[in-house]
Amino acid sequence: MRADAPYTGLQGIEQVIWVHKETSTAHDPLQGGLGPTRNGTRVLVVDDDPMSLEVLAVALLEYGFSVRTAASATEALAEARRLPPALVLVDVLMPGIDGFQLCAALKDDPQLSAVPVVLLSADDGGPRDRERGASVGAADYLTKPIDLPGLVRVVRQLAA
């Protein structure tokens, strides 16, 4: 049996991420379900909006990922070079260096070029933005509000 409940741990959240909690003890998270990840896969989350950054980080931590955050592209590049992640989630619309430019910079770095990058945007942007993302090496392009179960599946698949 499942119980759907919004994550409400932060005050003033404008976006709601639905967290699906498994309430049956018969569910085995290692059999393809959305239970906690047990290996602590490192994910770097990059977003200039502190609230979005915290919501994504907390949600991914709930699923057992090891999460690091960066509020800018410059900070993200430094953090990724210091300790390369298994995957990077990047907001597209950031001041200065945007998500597309950050993705290109990560792909140009020999140490980080194999790390999958998933672009996140509040604006669908249509095929043009998806094509632009693919042209700079993004592995996927997801729109906000984020469907958490879908995001977890993408992260697990790409970070494997």
Cα(first)–Cα(last) distance of the chain, in Å?
28
Phi-psi region of 130 (alpha: psi -120 to 50; beta: other; left: phi over 0): alpha
Could you identify the residue written with the tokens 């042209």? 135
Neighbours of 13 (CB within 10 A): 15
Nearest to 145 by CA among 117, 118, 119, 122: 122
Let me know how long the chain is: 160
CA distance linking residue 91 with residue 105, whole number of Å: 14
Alpha helix (H) ranges present in 12-98? 50-62, 73-82
Q: Which residues pair with 119 in a beta bridge?
A: 90, 141
113-150 tens-digit pLDDT: 999 999 999 887 788 999 999 999 999 999 999 999 99
Domains of the chain, start order: 42-159 (3.40.50.2300)
pLDDT exceeds cutoff 70 at 31: no
Q: Determine contact, residues 107/89, Cβ cutoff 8 Å.
A: no
69-118 tens-digit pLDDT: 999 999 999 999 999 999 999 999 999 999 999 999 999 999 999 999 99
Alpha helix (H) ranges present in the chain? 50-62, 73-82, 99-108, 126-135, 148-159
